[in-house]
């Protein structure tokens, strides 16, 4: 069974840092691109960053220069390093993988989410 488990969220002051982790199991980690999303209260879930199987990365404009997505293939774990956090970064953060096996279907898997709160 595919499982994604986020951790590392918490409460920090503006300008602080957090590192989020997404531990995975149940699929070949190195074979699929992965991504981080976030959802603030009353807003739609939005893409934060993604990473390809070979390490190419992309970021949403609000987090460029502050966040870094990376993966540890040896640990089957996805990370999001978050620096210079701002109050508008407050949200539940989710990791995601989309898997298309040979049965012709598309499967989207989400973690349970981890809360990040940035407040003075």
Each residue's pLDDT tens digit in the chain (120 positions)? 999 999 999 999 999 999 999 999 999 888 899 999 999 999 999 999 999 988 999 999 999 999 999 999 899 999 999 999 999 999 999 999 999 888 889 999 999 999 999 999
Read off the tokens for 36: 């981080």
Q: What is the pLDDT of residue 61?
A: 98
Three-state SS annotation for 61-101:
HHHCCCEEEEEECCCCEEEEEECCCCHHHCEEEEEEEEECC
pLDDT of residue 102: 83
């Amino acid at each position: 069974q595919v499982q994604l488990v986020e951790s590392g969220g918490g409460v920090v002051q503006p300008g602080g840092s957090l590192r989020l982790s997404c531990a995975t199991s149940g699929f070949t980690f190195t074979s699929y691109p992965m991504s981080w999303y976030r959802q603030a209260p009353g807003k739609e879930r939005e893409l934060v960053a993604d990473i390809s199987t070979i390490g190419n990365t992309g970021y949403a404009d609000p987090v460029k220069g502050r966040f870094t997505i990376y993966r540890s293939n040896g640990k089957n774990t996805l990370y999001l390093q978050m620096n210079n956090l701002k109050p508008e970064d407050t949200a539940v953060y989710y990791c995601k993988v989309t898997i298309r096996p040979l049965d012709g279907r598309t499967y989207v898997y989400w973690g349970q989410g981890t809360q990040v709160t940035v407040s003075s």
